């Protein structure tokens, strides 16, 4: 269960980063509310997962998922460049996260 919660928390990290970007310095109400809710849920999920998963592994997986999700969001929604090298780098991050899971 801790791993599932950690995965959801990593996805929520992407949500709060995207909402932060769209809040335009907290000047837009709805994205600001989405930011706060997603941030609190993401942190709560991380805290829950760290009860069973070592902190180094849990934090690295959480950050890795959030980073990959944010980059994919940027490419899919914000028009950031999609290049072979960027995709290879994302693959390396995913491989590291998977590796940490299996080494746990």
10-residue averages of pLDDT along the chain (104 residues): 96 97 96 98 98 94 95 96 96 91 82
Res 63: pLDDT: 95
CB contact set of 54 (below 8 Å; sequence gap of 6+): 104
Q: How far apart are CA 55 and CA 83, in angstroms?
A: 33
pTM of the complete model: 0.88
35/23 Cα distance (integer angstroms): 8
């Amino acid at each position: 269960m801790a791993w599932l919660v950690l995965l959801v928390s990593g996805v929520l990290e992407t949500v709060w980063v995207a909402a932060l970007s769209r809040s335009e310095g907290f000047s837009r109400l709805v994205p600001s509310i989405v930011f706060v809710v997603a941030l609190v849920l993401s942190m709560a999920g991380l805290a829950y997962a760290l009860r069973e998963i070592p902190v180094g592994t849990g934090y690295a997986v959480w950050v890795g998922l959030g980073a990959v999700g944010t980059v994919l969001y940027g490419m899919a929604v914000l028009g950031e460049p999609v290049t072979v090298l960027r995709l290879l780098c994302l693959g390396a991050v995913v491989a590291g996260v998977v590796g940490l899971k299996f080494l746990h």
